Amino acid sequence: MTDREVCQCFLKSLKDPRYNLMVIVPFKDFSQLFTMGEDIDLQTKEMNKSSFN
């Protein structure tokens, strides 16, 4: 499986809001895509925490 195919499979597995945030960003390889996904996941969790305060 090529890096491009891995990235496409990973993106297809995401649910909103992560997918909408990641689909517009060009990625060079899977590690870059994965790092971006972790950053978005952390930001999403932080937004959810702040809404409960």
Reported as a single tens digit per residue, the pLDDT across 22-49 is 656 666 776 776 777 777 777 777 776 6
Q: What is the DSSP letter of 24?
A: T
Structure tokens given for 41: 């996941």
pLDDT at residue number 13: 75
**pLDDT-based confidence at residue 50 (cuts at 50, 70, 90):** low
Distances (CA, A) of 21 to 2, 26, 40, 52: 23, 11, 8, 23
pLDDT at residue number 6: 74
Reported as a single tens digit per residue, the pLDDT across 4-24 is 777 777 777 776 666 666 656
